[in-house]
């Protein structure tokens, strides 16, 4: 077998993290020059593979079609010669607890999947055909153009995409960075058509000229041994043709011509944000200087937030709320270095002073000698973090490695393929040379605000208004504030003790080591991951903190001010892999401290002592209030699918408040109100704390941490006279047989997308184990058909999702769709899909497939945890949700084993199919600017919907040809005659009647359905709370009594 490949690196020469028990082999296939990394992990319950192709959107320019590489990525999923059915690949993965995805970057395109570990070979065989014999079916072509167009429209109101495209649009037109990478209907259909081009022919040419084995990198991760994985790689991927193409080099042109530097770009955003960005064109050091990476030195110092830093100075002036700095690789050999400042209104007024101050700090750092002690700290933490790195999800592992594998074929020694991020060499000369690029002559400044005037240009693709001006010389002149700047202090949080404690008896659930009317402390020593890390979570229940919208807002503002107060110290901890966060949560707030356990108690003690002595700062009040207010306002300008879930959650749960009400309340808050709230109101009714100590701690350390927390709270009275588990907040539940329609108008007037979340309540209380399992099984079976029908076939929109919904106590199922179509239409199509899916469940779901879906769900339930923080999250959820169900997944699998197909059918018919018995909440997030669909699109939809309703399958290409012919002569009778002749079934008069009706009125008259609700008060006045969670076991079961338990 070794005759078929050359080994580039193998065990034990590949440098690995301390706890990495995987085996690696990096090879190059002799047959076609394909680079392959094989990873054997006998403990893996999920296998994965990824293939990265060394061509991306920068190649579009060569063919004159923007979005061509992205379009190619989409179409590869739509069938191959060996597996012609367009959803064969996704179906196989869905039945074996898998999933897949892909993305198109500038210089490469990355494809990956994950699947149950017993089914890797079958998935590999289907996956390999993408790169051997794709169909590029005409049937799918137009639909995938629409899918790309929908994906692009999803991003049109997103400022990140808009400003990124603006930077590209104002770059060198001779460099492919200048292009439009996503593509849309105009670039992929209208423009090629007008030029006499068949986009499919161009696509096949693109694929043929770039998809070559020597430009590909494959990573396979499975439980099999390396030899077996090698056999599969050879057998399935050797047929990928090698055309021996060179990897593209885009360094012939600079991304900015000299005349495009020293420019000020002003732009108007969608969100009400003020932002200043300084960007410098710099060389890419990721490969050429992989061992030293000089950009890391500057990103560390320019992005630091401690006293003496640029960020600290700007915040002290009241000019900034946040600052970040770092490099962004544009292409091989070229990068940009950014300093991005989030401005307050006062900062916007003083943006020129901020620019001068920033350049002054850059000058201070670049002109001083590189500090070896600073470098040593950065280098030390890269070594520590690599040494104790834990496993990540199989799909993210293979995707990440395949995207950089080409570097280890000559650029970086292959033994460092896992450790290329570790710094190894302090090179002050390289640092000095890199710093020479961070100068005004190499600078572009971007100022972003809705209040800017004189914006006389409009970017072509996203319609961003902007202006380009020369940077005046006085903007880059010194301002004489250097005395405010100095280097950070030495980091006292760098860990030095990495001892992993000896393990006690393995336990599933944590123990309660202290229980009282003031605090419960749960403890679990890590038995699995054996890393010197831990987490301490503290939920402070403070009923006075959230009694109405005003107290809720004041608590949120208090927390933001406190986080700013401790940011100086917290940032040092963050730099060494530790983190302290304080966030509002239900009826109080949650403190989470995590990272290397050596100094974790020190960080906790600092946070607690600061919290209970905290006095809100008047000097920070306005800027932090602005930051919070802006984040709440801007939430309402996010993509609809990212908003709608929170709108529903706020409606359905007590002590959560409408976003608009919170904004109005915060606008009127004064500093005096805040002071009174934090010093008096918030603690007034007392406190109850739930604590979890988890990780590399023993019982003595856990008790010490408990004492630290207890001592910090000694001046706060307990909330309850005696401990009572019924302190948890509740959620509202729907009445049986009712349908409620909750409507919200999208705040962004220009967003053309609407969104519907269709929620079916299965049970008001989620503690029915069998109902939970049946709902999970439904989600497993329905996921792929839902996506295939609503997104792929009906082309409703790029975002289609289905899954379980767990409220505070309730259990339900939901379908979410974001689309340019109206909410009424989306409800109609969702309900039609559920009706048709019911036919499938009752008449087409085979016993064999049902067993496969059960097995897929079982694999998902039994998926092994990959890292310590994942287990912490699961334990914490089981504590704070009030169920104490630490063995829930195991019990669910036991129930699943005995579920029969007939039970599932009965469940579906009772809880999903029967409109007169199901309880539904349908949330509409309506666009103010919906698109009027053209007659041909309405006709196509009417035909597809009629056929789908009647269970008739017709080739999509035939439907497209009918619609095209209608555009020519507008003869509907002829079109429908042809259609009836083709389908050879059904009543001709009914076909004519129904299609004609839906052509004129796409939505049946009965829609929208449900009792209309527009406010929280309206809904809550007619609905009851669902009750407190009922623990699966009493707290007393978990009390710790005997040290031998741990």
742 sits in which H/E element: strand 739-745
Residues annotated as catalytic (active site), given as ranges: 73
Residue 772 vs residues 779, 870, 873: alpha-carbon distances, Å: 11, 22, 20
Query: What are 117's two structure tokens?
Result: 């570990």
Query: Helix or strand or coil: residue 929?
Result: coil
CB of 719 within 8 A of CB of 688?
yes
The SS3 assignment for 564 reads helix
| Cα 166 to Cα 174: distance, rounded to the nearest angstrom | 16
Which residues fall within 8 angstroms of residue 73, CB to CB, at 6 or more apart? 102, 103, 104, 109, 111
Q: Does residue 392 contact residue 345 with C-beta atoms inside 8 Å?
A: no
* 573 vs 694: CA distance, rounded Å: 19
For residue 1041, how many C-alpha atoms fall within 13 Å in the half-sphere facing its CB? 4
| 8 A C-beta contact, residue 130 and residue 80 | yes
Backbone angles phi, psi at 6, to 5 degrees: -110, 130
Query: At how many degrees (to 10) do helices 549-565 and 567-575 cross?
Result: 60
Half-sphere exposure of 7 (CA within 13 A, CB side): 15
Beta-bridge partner residues of 9:
26
- Alpha-carbon 756 to chain mean position: 20
* Rounded-to-integer distance, Cα 831 and Cα 268, Å: 40
Other beta carbons within 10 angstroms of residue 186's beta carbon come to 17
Residue 723, class by beta-carbon neighbours within 10 Å (0-12 exposed, 13-18 middle, 19+ buried)? middle
> What is the 8-class DSSP label of residue 585?
E
Please count the other Cβ atoms lying within 10 Å of the Cβ belonging to residue 80. 24
H/E stretch holding 391: none
530 near 695, Cβ under 8 Å? no
Residues 6+ apart with CB under 8 A from 578: 493, 593, 594, 595, 596, 599, 600, 603
Q: Enter the tokens of residue 825.
A: 């239409």
Produce one character per residue of 484-504: b if its CB has 16 or more CB atoms within 10 Å, e if not: bbebbeebebbbeebebeeee
Residue 581 CA to residue 563 CA, distance in Å, equals 8
In this structure, the chain runs to a length of: 1046
Report angle CA 833, 838, 843 to the nearest 5 degrees. 130
Alpha-carbon distance values, 943 to 142, 946, 958, 959, 993 (Å): 16, 5, 11, 8, 11
Give CA–CA dist 275/267, Å, rounded: 10
SS3 content of the chain, % helix, strand, coil (to 5): 45, 20, 35
- What's the number of CA atoms in the CB half-sphere (13 Å) around residue 956? 18
Sequence-ordered list of residues with C-beta below 8 angstroms from that of 1033, at least 6 positions apart, any chain:
884
Cross-sheet strand order for the sheet of 35-40: 5-10, 23-29, 35-40, 216-222, 46-53, 109-116, 99-104
Chain-centroid distance of CA 83 in Å reads: 31
- Rg of the chain over Cα atoms, rounded to whole angstroms, equals 30
**How does strand 99-104 pair with strand 465-470?**
unpaired
Closest CA to 787 of 59, 111, 296, 87: 87
């Amino acid at each position: 077998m070794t005759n078929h490949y050359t080994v580039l690196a193998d065990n034990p020469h590949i440098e690995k993290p301390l706890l990495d028990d995987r085996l690696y082999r990096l090879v190059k296939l002799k047959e076609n020059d394909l680079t392959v990394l094989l990873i054997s992990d006998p403990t893996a319950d999920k296998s994965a593979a990824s293939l990265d192709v060394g061509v991306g959107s920068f190649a579009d320019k060569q063919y004159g079609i923007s979005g061509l590489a992205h379009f190619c990525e989409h179409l590869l999923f739509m069938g191959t010669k060996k597996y012609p059915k367009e959803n064969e690949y996704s179906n196989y993965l869905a039945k074996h607890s898998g999933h897949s995805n892909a993305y198109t970057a500038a210089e490469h395109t990355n494809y990956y999947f994950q699947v149950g570990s017993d089914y890797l070979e079958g998935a590999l065989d289907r996956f390999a055909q993408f790169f051997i014999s794709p169909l590029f079916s005409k049937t799918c072509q137009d639909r995938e153009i629409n899918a790309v167009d929908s994906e692009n429209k999803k991003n049109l109101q997103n400022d990140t995409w808009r400003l990124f495209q603006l930077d590209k649009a104002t770059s060198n037109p001779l460099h492919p960075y200048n292009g439009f990478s996503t593509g849309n209907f105009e670039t992929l259909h209208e423009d090629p058509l007008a030029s006499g081009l068949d986009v499919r022919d161009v696509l096949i040419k693109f694929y043929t000229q770039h998809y070559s084995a020597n430009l590909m990198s494959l990573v396979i991760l499975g439980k099999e041994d390396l030899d077996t994985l090698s056999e599969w790689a050879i057998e399935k991927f050797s047929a990928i043709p090698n055309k021996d193409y060179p990897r593209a080099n885009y360094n012939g042109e600079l991304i900015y011509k000299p005349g495009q530097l020293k420019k000020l770009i002003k732009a108007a955003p969608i969100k009400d944000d003020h932002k200043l960005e300084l960007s410098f064109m710099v060389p890419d050091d990721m490969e050429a200087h992989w061992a030293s990476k000089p950009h890391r030195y500057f990103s560390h110092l320019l992005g630091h937030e401690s006293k003496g830093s640029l960020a600290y100075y700007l915040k002290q002036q009241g000019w900034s709320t946040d600052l970040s700095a770092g490099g962004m690789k544009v292409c091989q050999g070229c990068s940009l270095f950014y300093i991005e400042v989030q401005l307050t209104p006062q900062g916007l007024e003083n943006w020129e002073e901020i620019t001068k101050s920033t350049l002054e700090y850059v000058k201070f750092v670049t002109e001083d000698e590189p500090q070896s002690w600073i470098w040593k700290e950065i280098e030390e933490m890269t070594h520590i973090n690599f040494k104790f790195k834990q496993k990540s999800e199989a799909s993210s592992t293979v995707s990440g490695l395949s995207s950089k594998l080409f570097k280890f074929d000559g650029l970086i020694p292959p033994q460092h393929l896992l450790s290329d991020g570790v710094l190894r060499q302090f090179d002050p000369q390289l640092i000095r040379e890199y710093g020479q690029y961070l100068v005004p002559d190499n600078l572009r400044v971007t100022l972003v605000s809705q209040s800017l005037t004189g914006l006389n240009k409009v970017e072509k693709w996203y319609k961003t208004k902007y202006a380009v001006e020369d940077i005046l010389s006085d903007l880059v002149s010194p301002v004489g504030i250097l005395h405010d700047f100095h280097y950070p202090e030495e980091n006292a949080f760098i860990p030095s003790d990495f001892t992993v404690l000896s393990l006690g008896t393995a336990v599933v659930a944590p123990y309660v080591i202290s229980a009282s009317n003031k605090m419960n402390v749960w403890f679990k020593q890590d038995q699995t991951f054996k890393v010197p890390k831990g987490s301490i979570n503290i939920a402070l229940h403070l009923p006075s903190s959230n009694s109405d919208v005003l107290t809720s807002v004041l608590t949120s503002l208090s927390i933001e001010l406190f986080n700013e107060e401790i940011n100086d110290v917290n940032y040092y901890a963050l730099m060494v892999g530790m983190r302290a966060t304080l966030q509002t949560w239900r009826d109080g707030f949650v403190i989470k401290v995590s990272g290397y356990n050596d100094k974790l108690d020190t960080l906790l003690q600092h946070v607690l002592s600061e919290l209970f002595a905290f006095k809100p700062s008047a000097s920070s009040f306005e800027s932090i209030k602005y930051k919070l207010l802006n984040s709440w306002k801007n939430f309402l300008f996010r993509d609809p699918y990212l908003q709608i879930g929170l709108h529903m959650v706020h409606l359905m749960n007590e002590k959560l408040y409408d976003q608009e009400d919170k904004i109005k309340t915060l606008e009127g808050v004064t500093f005096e109100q805040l002071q009174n709230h934090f010093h008096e109101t918030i603690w007034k009714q007392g406190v109850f704390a739930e604590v979890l100590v988890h990780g590399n701690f023993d019982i003595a350390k856990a008790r010490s941490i408990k004492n630290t927390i207890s001592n910090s709270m000694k001046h706060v009275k307990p909330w309850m006279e005696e401990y009572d588990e019924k302190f948890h907040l509740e959620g509202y539940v729907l009445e049986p047989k009712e349908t409620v329609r909750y409507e919200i108008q999208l705040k962004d007037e220009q967003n053309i997308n609407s969104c519907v979340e269709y929620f079916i309540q299965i049970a008001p209380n989620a503690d029915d184990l069998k109902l939970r399992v049946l709902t999970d099984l439904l989600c497993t079976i329905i996921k792929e058909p839902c996506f295939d029908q609503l997104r792929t076939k009906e082309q409703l929109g790029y975002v289609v999702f289905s899954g379980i919904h767990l409220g505070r106590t309730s259990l339900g199922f939901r379908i979410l769709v974001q689309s340019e179509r109206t909410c009424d239409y989306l409800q109609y199509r969702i309900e039609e899909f559920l009706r048709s899916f019911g036919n499938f469940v009752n008449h087409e779901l085979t016993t064999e497939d049902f067993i496969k879906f059960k097995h897929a769900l079982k694999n998902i339930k039994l998926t092994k945890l990959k890292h310590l923080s994942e287990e912490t999250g699961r334990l914490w959820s089981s504590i704070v949700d009030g169920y104490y169900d630490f063995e829930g997944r195991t019990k669910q699998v036991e129930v699943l084993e005995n579920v029969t197909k007939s039970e599932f059918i009965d469940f579906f018919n009772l809880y999903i199919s029967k409109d007169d018995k199901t309880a539904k909440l349908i949330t509409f997030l309506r666009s103010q600017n919906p698109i009027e669909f053209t007659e041909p699109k309405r006709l196509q939809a009417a035909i597809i919907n009629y056929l789908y309703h009647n269970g008739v399958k017709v080739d999509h290409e035939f439907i497209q040809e009918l619609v095209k012919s209608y555009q020519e002569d507008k003869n509907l009778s002829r079109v429908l005659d042809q259609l009836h002749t083709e389908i050879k079934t059904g009543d001709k008069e009914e076909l004519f009647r129904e299609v004609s009706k839906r052509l004129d009125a796409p939505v049946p008259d009965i829609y929208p359905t449900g009792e209309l609700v527009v406010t929280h008060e309206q809904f809550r006045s007619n609905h009851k709370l669902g009750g407190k969670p009922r623990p699966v076991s009493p707290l007393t079961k978990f009390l710790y009594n005997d040290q031998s338990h741990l």
